[in-house]
Amino acid sequence: MSTDPFIYLQFIRNTMAGLPGTTEGMSHGTPAFYAQKKMLCRLWENGEVLVIRTDERDKWIAKDPETYFFTDHYRNYPCLLVNLPKVDPEELKGLLIKAWMDRASKTQLKAYHDRIH
């Protein structure tokens, strides 16, 4: 992806805009996205790392440890850190959608599936 943090945020916004019930807010002073009032992801202060909720952290880190990683702070949380300048946009989109699916209501999931099929 590009190296402009605004481009990353706009990409995330565009992806989240298509997911029913997703809202944007702030977390730790940076843009964050929520479903069911539960955080899906948030940008780090540097604008180049995304914290994203996932139960598949080890899978992603094993695939590409330069793009996907975590710090000790996130060790006990179901979160993955994504190096945005290195991530493939389609992989990021898939991670964002999966994070949303794990938190969305049944009604929101149905609305999403009805729209894409």
User: pLDDT tens string for the chain (117 positions)?
Assistant: 556 778 999 999 999 999 999 999 999 999 999 998 999 999 999 999 999 999 999 999 999 999 999 999 999 999 999 999 999 999 999 999 999 999 999 999 999 999 888
CATH architecture of 5-109: Alpha-Beta Complex (3.90)
* Predicted local distance difference test score (pLDDT) of residue 115: 87
* Predicted local distance difference test score (pLDDT) of residue 1: 57
* Predicted local distance difference test score (pLDDT) of residue 57: 97
pTM: 0.92
Give the phi and the psi of residue 8 in degrees, each rounded to 5.
-60, -50
